[in-house]
Amino acid sequence: MKLTDIVAPECIRVPLHSSTKEDVITELVDLLAEHERISDREEVLKSVMDREATRSTGIGHGLAVPHCKTAACVKLVAAIGKPAKPLDFESKDGQSVDLVVLLISPLDQTGPHIQALARISRLMLTEHCRNDLACAQSGADVIRVITQFES
């Protein structure tokens, strides 16, 4: 599984309009709903926020991966956003976040969910990939960088 298999180009927003953790999550959920990748916006938003309340998904290196499992989707989907300015996501390393990858997974598909989390984390461990994503000016740039480093 590749990240480019689960994120549609129209579900990438650079830059995001929102500037707070909650608003960024809402904006990305709305993007998935707008493009009919999820069936129940309210359920997904509640599930992601509930998950976020248990522990921040700011995992370090400027990356946050808010996620949930829900009946409101039939396959793993993602939305990606870059805030206009780095934002506080209560990350483990104390750094601000400049890339947010929202993952929404069906209740019965644990394997792909974990694979996607691992793949995202692996990409962000590569300094060159982080730098290229930081320079991305559009959704097309983000897809190009991900494609290059997934190869």
Distance CA(90)–CA(27), nearest Å, equals 18
Cα first-last separation, the chain: 12
Instruction: Give the domain extent around 40.
Output: 3-150
Specify the pTM. Answer: 0.95
pLDDT by 10s per residue, the chain, length 151: 889 999 999 999 999 999 999 999 999 999 999 999 999 999 999 999 999 999 989 998 899 999 999 999 999 999 999 999 999 999 989 999 999 999 999 999 889 899 998 999 888 889 999 999 999 999 999 999 999 998 7
What total number of domains does the chain contain? Answer: 1
pLDDT, position 110: 85
CATH classification at residue 113:
3.40.930.10
Distance CA(33)–CA(150), nearest Å, equals 26
Distance CA(29)–CA(48), nearest Å, equals 9
